[in-house]
Amino acid sequence: MNTRLFTIAITPAIAIIFGIYLSDRYDREPLKLLMLTYIFGALSAIPIIIVEELLLKLNIFSGIFDALYTAFIVAGLTEEFFKRLVVLKIPYNTKYFDEKLDGIVYGVFSAMGFATVENIVYVVYRYANNPHVGLYRGIFSVPAHAVFGITMGYYLSLAKFDPDKKRAAKNRYRSLYMPIFLHGTFNFILMAGIPQLSLLFVPYVIYIWRINQKKLSKFVYDSKSRFIDTDKEDDN
């Protein structure tokens, strides 16, 4: 294995999880649970590859419909389903998932686990002779997975902490279909082969990053407020 390419492949995801870990500065999650979520996020690549290969074999479309099917069903649905499943099965029902920011933290750790494996496959093995793949994926693809993880975790947290069961159910569904929509659109712009559409790629990436940065900031503020309120109660 090329050590330089391996380092290039894993660095973006490691930097992102380190950043999201530092964002959760008021009530940090246990490292063991975070690493478990990250590892199983990485292991989710196994069923994802199997399902994606099966779906590709079932593809009967061509042209623009092939791009839509591959972007939204093969990649978007499959990858977001399993990354979300990791969060639901590991941290979601533990006592440590006790504030809204936790959904985003665990969502990003799961997403970065998968993104690490995917990036190693692309950078180290599949396109090892292309010097630009690592840079492109480090700037766009890996951060995009983080954005999808933020979206998923945001709606999972809204569902978990909402006493209104009907509204909670809606947000639980949103935690799946919203990341699929964002992911599918990201891939479709690249796969469609339409020059005019490709001009929207960078603006789209900036847009989804900004709206999800607002989601993150909102829950960081909520976490801070919760921590301050707890301190005041302890003082009293």
231: pLDDT strictly greater than 70 = no
Higher model confidence: residue 229 or residue 101?
Answer: 101
Q: Residue 233's pLDDT band (boundaries 50, 70, 90)?
A: low
What percent of the chain is predicted at pLDDT more than 90? 87
Sorted by where each begins, the domain ranges of the chain are: 3-220
pTM of the model: 0.94
Place of tokens 């294995």: 1
Output the 3-class SS for 179-215.
Answer: HHHHHHHHHHHHHCCCHHHHCCHHHHHHHHHHHHHHH
The answer to whether 140 and 206 have CB atoms below 8 angstroms apart is no
**Residue 2: pLDDT band with limits 50, 70, 90:** confident
Give 4-8's long-range contacts (Cβ < 8 A, gap of 24+). Answer: 5/123, 5/124, 5/128, 5/134, 6/120, 6/124, 8/123, 8/134, 8/138
For residues 99 and 138, the answer to whether their CB atoms sit within 8 Å is: no
Q: Give the mean pLDDT of the chain.
A: 94
Answer yes or no: is pLDDT of 230 > 90: no
pLDDT tens across 12-24, in order? Answer: 999 999 999 999 9
The residue-averaged pLDDT of 175-197 equals: 96
Q: Region 160-181: what's the mean pLDDT?
A: 98
pLDDT per position as a tens digit, 117-163: 999 999 998 876 787 888 899 999 999 999 999 999 999 999 999 99
Question: Of all residues in the chain, what percent carry a pLDDT higher than 70?
Answer: 96
How far is Cα 207 from Cα 205, in angstroms, rounded to an integer?
Answer: 5
Residue with tokens 């590709």: 56
Of 43-52, 123-132, 162-171, the range with the lowest mean pLDDT is 123-132
